[in-house]
Structure 1
Amino acid sequence: METSSINIPSHMRGNKTVGAGLSSWVLRLDAVAKCYSSAEDDYKAREIAVYERLGSAGDHHKGVMRYYGVLDNAGVLVQFARHGSIRQYYSRLEQHEDVPLSTRTRWIEQTAEAIAFIHSKGVIHCDISSNNVFLDENLNAIVGDFSGSSLDGSPCLSWYEASHSHPDMSIPSIPTDIFALGSTFYEILLGKKPFAGLDECSIEESIRAGRFPNLEALPSLQMCINKCWHQHYESVDEVLEDIRQQVTLGLAPTDFDLPANAH
């Protein structure tokens, strides 16, 4: 007797099955609809293309916002980030120190892992910040918002915040994402963006002159952030290696001597 089976798509296997029959299954999705106007078709198409690249062949990365498909040609269904972005999460707290340092460094490591993964798939994010790193129900970091990303060297459709980009780097690349990671790590650790209080022109002038925020107040990862800003990494895998080394060894801020221009 011939038997039938239901093959649940790989990108949905992490969701609870609440019902199944011979011809269909019912899954519970903790999802939101991201909708676009008709004038934003390019952004929608890019986001779909990136998500399908990142989630293909059953190799979805846990640090990337889960993608469930297209919604009536108007938008996409993506994972619901219960706690919003890290920036939103901090805005609801009295102070960023309310988040244990171990949690903040975990977010940094999870973010770097996700970016290393998307780079391996030919994607440059082009807008990394704590506004696009989200927190799931277990307070794990997940990277999302790929509507402006570069895919296989295509032109990007959005660009980083001034505090997260070098003004002399205008082509999407691994180095542009790494620079943005440095600023994102800074914000995760201190609860504020680097160059806070400066306008965009002043930020650009400071970066060109090599005047970066003082890193001595950071509780961890000063050297890693400094190396991100000064293009001392060739890949995010190298960034991850430094993060894991410092987290594993539990190095204190004074264990590193920062270059003079890191102040």
Structure 2
Amino acid sequence: MLSSFHFSYSIIWPTVWCFLSSSFNGLLGLFYAPAGLLGRGSRNEDIEHLGDATAVESKNGSVISSAAELNKPSTPYPKSIRYIRVPGEWEQRTNPQTAPNHPNIPEPRPGEIIYVTKGKFLAWGGTAMIERLPSGIVIKTPLPNPYCPPEEKDHQRNMRLEAQIYQRIGEHPRVPSSVNWNPDTCCLTMEYLENGNLRDYIRQNHRSITPWLRLQWARQAAEALTVLHAVDVIHCDLSPRNFLLDSDLNLKISDFGGASLCGSEPSAIPATRFRHPRYDWNVTPVFGDDIFSLGSLIYFIMTDCYPHQEVPSNEVEKLYEVQEFPDVSHLICGTIIMQCWSWQVDTAQAVYDYLKAVDKDCVL
């Protein structure tokens, strides 16, 4: 019997969340997280943590017939869900020793979903799994969940929204290039950005990042947000993980699946340290919500730290309520950061103009 390697991810989805998704469309976004369904404000530091893959060996007797094949379980909704990834046709061609021509696909046990890979795994989030195709581009596939069709439809809806926003923006240096959109599978292909997301890059390279590069990123982040607001898009989840870096370390904004388009209801909210104290889930988001988040983003860029990083999230909310923000007086961008936090700046364009002037006038 042939053996194959697959990767597993554990995601906790209690049955109650399927009920919420089907009964209260949009409420699910308040609780949804890639490592489970939690109250977004209850977690500490950065909200979304990308899944880590762990390799395990599997022996089975089924045969993969398509790179997009999904072996759907038929058991009742389980207490938890585990995604099992098995090699697709691309891996059979590129790695025949570890992915034979006729690999076996395991029969899913209760709580398992079998996913046949399209490319090299990069990351997964609340809506989609991200892989790099053999051609070099990236494909974003909505997470399947046959145990809860309404939730699966939510993922597909978010992908449709993201594709619509990419189309609305068009080509821009502060936004990843969209290569193709498949409305049948809700899969989006985009350019691959070599240096990953801003959060991880800063964490791994903070000692070598120059003040000039930090200022460039702050300016480019404001420019990117200006691009979104110009087409009536409110991101609703600005954070360092949602900005990507190309080969030249230029910043690009990404992940629009939870956004608000033309006043639509978003399926995401900002993380605690990126969310102003007056934020109300039941109220249509405004540009100022993103601008507050932009202040926290610039703070992270300039300091390598989240605002009040050592303070639990629930305490951060209390500090924000009484306008107690981190000291920024020593930062070159401190004035504009505080203006973002205190709602003293109205547009992302104003933030961009300020940072552009700082970049021009200041010798770092």
Smaller-chain TM-score range? Answer: 0.7 to 0.9
Q: How does 1:9-28 map to 2 (within 5 A)?
A: none
Out of 106, 109, 113, the residue aligned to residue 216 of structure 2 is 106
- Structure-2 residue corresponding to 1:257: none
- Structure-2 residue corresponding to 1:12: none
- Percent of residue pairs identical: 27
- Mapped partners of 2:310, 2:221: distance in 1: 25
CA offset digits 1:187-225 (Å, max 9, x no partner):
01111111102222111100001100111343x110010
Runs (4+) off by over 3 Å: none
Q: How does 1:1-263 map to 2 (within 5 A)?
A: 30-38=136-144, 39=152, 40-55=155-170, 60-71=171-182, 73-93=185-205, 96-170=206-280, 171-218=284-331, 220-250=332-362
**Residue 317 of structure 2: SS of its match in structure 1?**
helix
TM-score by length of 2: 0.57
- Mapped partners of 2:300, 2:328: distance in 1: 12
CA RMSD in angstroms comes to 1.7
- Mapped partners of 2:156, 2:312: distance in 1: 31
Give how far 1:118 is off. Answer: 1.1
CA offset digits 1:102-123 (Å, max 9, x no partner):
1111111111111101111111
**Count of residues paired in the alignment:** 218
**Residue 252 of structure 2: SS of its match in structure 1?**
strand
* One-letter amino acid of the structure 1 residue matched with residue 202 of structure 2: Y
- The structure with the largest helix share of the pair is 1
TM-score by length of 1: 0.79
**Residue 288 of structure 2: SS of its match in structure 1?**
helix
Report the CA distance shift for 1:100/1:166 in structure 2 as closer, same or farther (over 3 A). same
**Residue 140 of structure 2: SS of its match in structure 1?**
strand
Give how far 1:169 is off. Answer: 2.1
- Mapped partners of 2:188, 2:304: distance in 1: 30
Give how far 1:91 is off. Answer: 2.3
- Mapped partners of 1:137, 1:158: distance in 2: 29
- Structure-1 residue corresponding to 2:91: none
* One-letter amino acid of the structure 2 residue matched with residue 183 of structure 1: S
Asked whether the equivalents of residues 141 and 188 of structure 2 are also in contact (C-alpha less than 8 Å), the reply is yes
- Mapped partners of 2:210, 2:358: distance in 1: 16
Structure number with greater Rg is: 2
- The structure with the largest strand share of the pair is 2
* One-letter amino acid of the structure 2 residue matched with residue 37 of structure 1: L
**Where does the alignment leave 5 or more consecutive residues of structure 2 unmatched?**
1-133, 145-151
**Where does the alignment leave 5 or more consecutive residues of structure 1 unmatched?**
1-27, 253-263
- Mapped partners of 2:310, 2:301: distance in 1: 17
* One-letter amino acid of the structure 2 residue matched with residue 214 of structure 1: D
* One-letter amino acid of the structure 2 residue matched with residue 92 of structure 1: Q
- Mapped partners of 1:147, 1:237: distance in 2: 23
